[in-house]
A and B are shown apart, each in its own frame.
Chain A
């Protein structure tokens, strides 16, 4: 279980997160929502090691993650994506995913320089894993194209494929539906559900309420760097604080 306890992040005098605590149940899809500036991405950065929290602790199955490098956290199965599309732009889709398979490979320096059969076997396995992942996200027809040449929605799928290649146990998705068309969002929601079926826990930050309410088991609401509500989608939609802080605001502006 991914456990966040009293997480605090301060930038100089600005408090981005204060006393944030929540658990992400294994096998669940948990969403973090909140108005802009609520601290959602900051929480992601603090959980995955991109930002050192000023206080509090994050642990996974009892092992403390706080203070570890992002790569070390990824090695423990906590893998994230980014809000701004992040792919290896000049590489083909195939090579993107091959790179993402880094943790599945074992060949060290000497094996790479001197290895023969086992090295070739491993490369073959990785290539077939990559092909399977690319198939899974539905980009088989784009396999050999440079990631930068793909339309935006497909680049986000490459990003998802990259993260899946790292064999996550907990997958943190930062606005996976941002900038996508409705049809693309449906595809992504479907993929997220399928990933969960493979026993991957999912934590996502998302602005699209239809998507959030449609796929989440639990919704956590952040506002001003604090958790103001937590519960099933239906409870959250009816929660007075949430309506005031978030839905109310967006109704007012609409």
Chain B
């Protein structure tokens, strides 16, 4: 049943460009995919280790800037730049993980917020490197051998591959002793230590993988919009990621993806449906309703509903 459902969803995702009526819809799908990668990334930390990173846009932005700068100034091609973006964001994750070794809860949140703030200031003020608030226009489109991935359709498949990769990595981790160690840290840290789980090691590992994944999302974003500015560090990106993970269902594999699709599409739907004055209000009301009626998130709620129906 689950398998059939998953296969059906994969089929829809693979054939989506054929169904969608316009380039605009495809654009929304691509953004949903990029946010899907980011939400999966945040979910590793927030959903599995239980640590809330409110500076996740920093890893996203580091990925975007790394990729943009390497392709623009050093004329690297897309793929090595992508790898570097992932690596550098991962290194930043390692740094944050080590820095907050003993910090949990509110203190971890503060460290991640401050980190994002500092990185954002650097992007604004290091004008020689980043071109400051004017940003970096003209980031090249990726190429795969002789083909350019310039069109929306090809880019959609690139993003879809990244989502599949992020999902596969999350799934493998979560289903392993590493994922069980993450959850042990979330559930009861003292108990986790007592059975030999080196909590700091696993926290750092989660931070590195999560940040690297966010860097992947950042690089894809940079080469899609073809423009990177300090806006990539906006707090609203982080908030959007958190909403996607929490509303979709943190600590589940499908939840962040459901959240990413829903909360990328929702503002667009609202834009078409109402005037701008009402958009944010409607968004807020819908979010509140969702949290009130499905406090654990959409996916856990649906799972619970299914398991409650009596089996023959």
Interface residues of A (CB under 8 A from B): 48-50, 69-72, 74-75, 79-82, 86-91, 95, 98-103, 105, 107, 109, 112-113, 119, 123, 126, 162-163, 165-166
In the bound complex, do residue A71 and residue B198 qualify as a contact, i.e. CB atoms below 8 Å apart? Answer: yes
* Contacting pair B180 A109 (CB below 8 A): no
Within 8 Å CB of A165, what residues of B? 195
Report yes or no: B177 in contact with A126, Cβ–Cβ below 8 A. yes
Decide: A79 and B187 in contact? CB cutoff 8 A.
no
Please state if A95 and B178 are interface contacts (CB–CB under 8 Å).
no
Query: Cβ of B194 and Cβ of A99 under 8 Å apart?
Result: no
Contact present for B197 and A102 (CB under 8 Å) = yes
**In the complex, how many angstroms separate the beta carbon of A130 from the nearest chain B beta carbon?**
11
* Contacts A75-B196, A95-B180 supplied; 11 other A-B pairs, CB < 8 Å: A79-B196, A86-B188, A86-B194, A87-B191, A89-B187, A89-B188, A90-B187, A102-B177, A102-B184, A112-B177, A123-B176
> Which residues on B sit within 8 Å (CB–CB) of A103?
195-196
Is the pair A109, B205 in contact by a Cβ cutoff of 8 Å? yes
The answer to whether the Cβ of B38 comes within 8 Å of any Cβ in the partner chain is: no
* C-alpha gap A241/B111 in the complex (Å): 54
Given A74-B194, A80-B194, A113-B169, residue A102 in contact with residue B187 (CB < 8 A):
no
> Of A88, A119, A126, which contacts B187 at CB under 8 A?
A88
**Is A91 touching B187 in the complex (CB atoms < 8 A)?**
yes
Residue B261, interface by CB 8 Å: no
CB neighbours (8 Å) of B203 from chain A are none
Q: How far is the CB of B20 from chain A (nearest CB, A)?
A: 33
Q: For the complex, what is the distance from the CA of A103 to the CA of B184, rounded to whole Å?
A: 13
Contact B180 A102 (CB under 8 A): yes
Q: Is the CB of A81 within 8 A of B194?
A: yes
Shortest CB-to-CB span from B60 to chain A, Å, is 22
A250–B61 Cα gap in the complex (Å)? 66
> How far, in whole Å, are A100 and B180 apart by their CA atoms in the complex?
9
Determine the chain B residues whose CB is within 8 A of the CB of A87 once the complex forms.
Answer: 188, 191
The reply to whether B198 and A72 contact each other, CB–CB distance below 8 Å, is yes
A112→B187 contact, CB < 8 A: no
A109 contacts B178, C-beta separation under 8 Å: yes
**Contact present for B195 and A99 (CB under 8 Å):** yes
Question: Does residue B190 face the partner (Cβ distance < 8 Å to A)?
Answer: yes
CB distance from A164 to the nearest CB of B (A): 10
Given B177, B187, B188, which contacts A105 in the complex, CB threshold below 8 Å? Answer: B177
Docked-complex contact B180 and A86, CB < 8 angstroms: no
Q: Tell whether B245 is near chain A: CB-to-CB under 8 Å.
A: no
B173 with A112: CB separation less than 8 A: yes
- The CA of A9 and the CA of B192, in the complex, are separated in Å by 24
Q: How far is the CB of A65 from chain B (nearest CB, A)?
A: 13
By Cβ-Cβ distance, the 5 closest A-B pairs, closest first, are A74-B196, A70-B193, A105-B177, A103-B196, A112-B176
Type the 1/0 row for B142-169, where 1 means its CB is closer than 8 Å to any CB of A. 0000000000000000000000000001
CB distance from A11 to the nearest CB of B (A): 18
User: What bracket does the count of chain B residues touching chain A fall in?
Assistant: 20 to 34
B181 on interface, CB distance cutoff 8 Å: yes
Question: Chain A's nearest CB lies how many Å from the CB of B221?
Answer: 24
Chain B: minimal CB distance from A43 (Å): 16
Known A-B contacts A102-B177, A107-B176, A107-B177; A69 and B198 likewise in contact (beta carbons under 8 Å) = yes
21 A-B interface contacts by CB (under 8 A): A49-B193, A50-B190, A69-B193, A69-B198, A70-B190, A70-B194, A71-B198, A74-B194, A82-B194, A86-B194, A87-B191, A89-B187, A95-B180, A99-B192, A102-B180, A105-B177, A107-B177, A107-B178, A112-B176, A113-B172, A126-B177
Choose among B187, B191, B194 the residue with the greatest number of A CB atoms under 10 Å from its CB.
B194
A101 and B195 alpha carbons, distance in the complex (Å): 8
Chain A residues near B68: list those with CB within 8 A. none
Tell me how far the C-beta of B238 lies from the nearest C-beta in chain A, rounded to whole angstroms. 26
Given A74-B193, A166-B196, do A99 and B176 touch, yes or no (CB 8 Å)? Answer: no
CB distance from A200 to the nearest CB of B (A): 15
Interface residues of B in 120-139 (CB under 8 A from A): none
With A and B bound together, what is the CA distance between A100 and B193 in angstroms?
10
Q: Which of A88, A95, A101, A113 contacts B191 (CB 8 A)?
A: A88
Interface core residue of A71, A74, A81 (most chain B CB under 10 Å): A71
A48 to B175 alpha-carbon distance, docked (Å): 29
Most-contacted residue by chain A among B169, B192, B195 (CB, 10 A): B195
Q: Does B228 contact A (CB under 8 A)?
A: no
Return the contact of A112 from the options B172, B192, B193, B196 (Cβ within 8 A): B172
Which chain B residues in 194-209 approach chain A with CB under 8 Å? 194-199, 205
Hey, which chain B residues are within 8 Å of A98, CB to CB? 180
CB <8 Å contact, B176 and A119:
yes
Contact B195 A100 (CB under 8 A): yes
Does B81 reach chain A (CB closer than 8 Å)?
no
Q: Which residues of chain B from 16 to 67 have a CB within 8 Å of any chain A CB?
A: none
CA–CA, A146 to B190, complex, Å? 20
Are A99 and B178 in touch, CB under 8 angstroms? no
What residues of chain A lie closer than 8 Å to B194, measured between beta carbons?
48, 70, 74, 79-82, 86, 163, 166
Q: Within the complex, what minimum Cβ distance (angstroms) separates B223 from chain A?
A: 25
Q: How far is the CA of A121 from the CA of B176 in the complex (A)?
A: 12
- In angstroms, Cα B178 to Cα A119, docked, is 12
